[in-house]
Amino acid sequence: MKVLILGGVAAGTKAAAKFKREDRSADVTILTKDKDISYAGCGLPYYVGGLIESREELIVNTPEKYTALTGVKVITGMEATALHAEKKTVTVRKQDDGEVQELAYDKLIIATGASPVLPPIEGIEQEGIFSVRTPEDAIRIRSFVSDGGVKRAVVVGGGFIGLEMAENLKAQGVSVTVIDAAGQLLPEIFDPEMAGYIKKHLTQKGIRVLINTKALRFAGSGRVTGVQTEGMLLPCEMTIMAVGIRPNTAFLQGSGVELEQGKVLVDQQLRTNLEDVYAVGDCAMVTNRITGKRQWSPMGSSANLEGRTLAQVLAGKEKRYPGVLGTGIVKLPELNCGRTGLTEAQAQAAGYDVVTALMVTDDKAHYYPDSSNFIIKLLADRASHKLLGAQVLGTGSVDKLIDMAVTGIQLNARLEDYENGDFAYAPPFSTAIHPFVQAVYVLLNKLSGELVSMTPKEYLDGKAADYTVIDVNPSPSIRGARYINLTEVNGPIDGIGKDEKLLLVCRRGKRAYLLQNRLRYFGYTNTAVLEGATYFSDVRVKNAQAAVSPEEITRVKALGFLWDKNSPDRFNGRVITRNGKITADESAAIAEAAQRFGNGEITMTTRMTLEIQGVPFENIEPLQEFLAQAGLQTGGTGSKVRPVVSCKGTTCQYGLIDTFALSEAIHERFYLGYRDVKLPHKFKIAVGGCPNNCVKPDLNDLGIVGQRVPEVDMEKCRGCKVCQIEKVCPVHAASVQDKKIVIQPEVCNHCGRCIGKCPFKAFVNYTNGYRIYIGGRWGKKVARGQYLGKVFTNESEVLDVVEKAILLFREQGITGERFADTVARLGFENVQEQLLGNGLLERKAENIAAQKHLKGGATC
């Protein structure tokens, strides 16, 4: 039998290898357009991020190695251009010389995969715009990041690949913005409220996310400089296009193969409508296991399963491919997100009376080190209790829970089948009652009426508008809510009617459920527990007049909102301006935000951030969301690197260096890049363009001052009686001695005023550079910084010293002390020696990973 396979990545190579094992006598040939076969496409983002170090690790098999292992012939660099089913031939063209030939087959397998969609957007052909599909794509991206000075990237598309690329670009120190035209991340993959939690988490981890945002144009002249949307221009040096993929099936037009939007339709034996023609992988449209309806699921896992099953079918075995569940998982910064089965909308569209439950549970024994939480959403059919889907978020083994759901769905399990599941337990791995089983219990209690609850989706949709919010936390935590101490409820509660609508809310849901049980016993008939509680949802009480709790004041301070002590619930929100410079559009957005969410007033802080004044507590998150749509963010508080301050630099008559460019680089690399790095105290940086020191760099933890070091040509010095250099020097470092100009190096501040002032051209040449001050401080205890004994002439060297200073402060500082105190304690000479050496950078990974300064010393 002569089997011809078009495509050699996952499905094609799996089908070929398995069939060759089934029938060693078969003549099996793979044709592939690429030079690589069987590469790890799903691993490409992790090569970009550096977790996978070499290209070779991405290549599962080379053609030579694969042929030796399997006996399958592989021909690379050859593309199929037409199928002639009536003749059982395929027309192919060589990539290198264009030679065309026809190849015959007995059985044909179409496994041509899919390619990234590149929409016809103006400017998309420019350098710096990438898609992610092959190892060569990943190699080009990683090289571009390391060689091209990439500080900012925009990822267009909020699906699996887009978010994985965002995480891995961030790991390389790139500031990332993700935009998606849809109203949520991961549409049709996660339910909206789960996607909303993911979006909030990414924002907290330093990845800006803009939904309902479409790329309209790519700015730049040959190399991308920004992405234009309806509301703003997003500056960037790189763009990743991850808006989706399209099946590689154009060559099948007119062949008679049945297609649906380019996907090849197949039955359960992966046969097309043409005799002896089959299709597998990303180019094939299979079915959904639950609904039986057509579903496209371009995943590496299903491609391999389809390839293996088809090989068995070709070998004459009674095998069928039952379809897909759309199972998927994605790793994000400190959050794993998995799903399988139907979403809530998909289940409703399929005709199910769907019931859901969302709960927060421990991911292992709560007392075990590094224990965390799972957020689990289960979906089931109300009548049959059949499990329909699962979505899980958490820092731990999310895949384990998803795989439990997959197994159950494939076996047509009811919720009751999980009820007493004897799953593995030990404190390092799980809880005594497995987290998945706990979620099943919640859903069963909801179905039986033992639990009456409100889902996060219902809460977001306003169902709680006429409910009284009851705070069931161990201590009052929800501003404006009626607090009830669970342990003291032993009868009816004064002031609350038994038919009053009560929304019971705690941290994760358990205490609220226990209170509901007690209240039911005492005759209360209209209570609902908020699923996921405050761990998942932002609970707000309308028109709350109560003071904001100390815990909430601390929480929002980390977001850049400082409490106005003259009010019970008003805050001033700091808007980061990236060195005090903003665009007219950004200024307009800030002004509109102040009117909408604050009291209409804006103030400038001494750190050149803008503060929107008088923001009510309940307006904090809406204000942040509004500003994010304009490309702005709040922050600038806490024990970490603070936003950099800059003077006007070269736009000033005395400016020697481009302080805006340097401070922008510092902002991207250290304020954004180090936003999750905890320090002993705040770390302030200022950049001055000249020794006039308008922004007081020497009174910051680290200051950078522009320098212009004169290169004196003594042969041209005439020793004039009235020396113009001596006359113009503002610090009196220059004087004529023995008929020659003398510059006192310990006095000269390299202001550059002398350059060009000598009529005999003794002061023409100069070197621009930077002087770095460390250990300055302003406030209760003033400390003037000392400068390092070197004038730096290279900006990258300056940035390295800044990074080493931050690392030294984190590694050797004592929690609560300022950098000035660290320098004084260690000794200036010791610190200088470390900042000029390489040891701190060599220890960087270990330093950053250490659990240190978890509660720093900054109070503002």
- Is the per-residue pLDDT at 148 higher than 80? no
- Amino acid code (one letter) for 121: I
pLDDT value at residue 629:
80
pLDDT value at residue 102:
95
As a whole number, mean pLDDT of residues 570-581 equals 89
Model pLDDT for residues 5-59, shown as the tens digit of each residue: 999 999 999 999 999 999 999 999 999 998 888 887 788 999 999 898 888 888 8
- Is the per-residue pLDDT at 859 higher than 80? no
Model pLDDT for residues 243-289, shown as the tens digit of each residue: 999 999 999 999 999 999 999 999 999 999 999 999 999 999 999 99
Instruction: Give yes or no: 42 in active site.
Output: yes
As a whole number, mean pLDDT of residues 224-246 equals 93
pLDDT value at residue 541:
87
pLDDT value at residue 58:
81
Contact of 47 with 59, CB cutoff 8 Å:
no
Spell out the domains of the chain, with CATH numbers in brackets: 2-114+247-314 (3.50.50.60), 118-243 (3.50.50.60), 334-442 (3.30.390.30), 454-536 (3.40.250.10), 550-629 (3.30.70), 642-704+769-860 (3.30.413.10), 714-763 (3.30.70.20)
Contact of 12 with 6, CB cutoff 8 Å:
yes
Considering the chain, what is the average pLDDT of its residues? 94
- Is the per-residue pLDDT at 88 higher than 80? yes
Q: Which pair of structure tokens corresponds to residue 440?
A: 């099943």
Q: Which residue in the list 42, 652, 694, 720 is annotated as catalytic? A: 42
Comparing CA positions, the residue from 214, 206, 207, 212 lying closest to residue 163 is 207
pLDDT value at residue 577:
85
As a whole number, mean pLDDT of residues 387-410 equals 97
Dmax (CA) for the chain in angstroms is: 107
As a whole number, mean pLDDT of residues 453-469 equals 96
- Is the per-residue pLDDT at 445 higher than 80? yes
Angle 18-19-23 from CA coordinates, rounded to 5°: 125
pLDDT value at residue 608:
79
Q: What percent of the chain has pLDDT over 90?
A: 83
- Mean pLDDT check: name the lowest of 630-634, 635-639, 760-764: 630-634
- Is the per-residue pLDDT at 333 higher than 90? yes
Comparing CA positions, the residue from 155, 195, 202 lying closest to residue 178 is 155
Contacts of 601 (CB under 8 A, 6+ apart): 594, 612, 613, 614
- Is the per-residue pLDDT at 805 higher than 90? yes
Beta pairing class for 294-295 and 277-279: unpaired
Comparing CA positions, the residue from 243, 242, 244, 224 lying closest to residue 234 is 224
- Is the per-residue pLDDT at 610 higher than 80? yes
pLDDT value at residue 35:
84
pLDDT value at residue 41:
79
Contact of 445 with 451, CB cutoff 8 Å:
yes
Model pLDDT for residues 114-125, shown as the tens digit of each residue: 999 999 999 999
* 855 pLDDT tier (thresholds 50, 70, 90): confident
Which stretches of 685-789 are assigned E, i.e. beta strand?
685-688, 702-711, 734-737, 740-743, 765-774, 786-787
Q: Tell me the C-alpha distance between 739 and 718, whole Å.
A: 7
* 477 pLDDT tier (thresholds 50, 70, 90): confident
Q: Which pair of structure tokens corresponds to residue 662?
A: 């340097």
pLDDT value at residue 151:
86
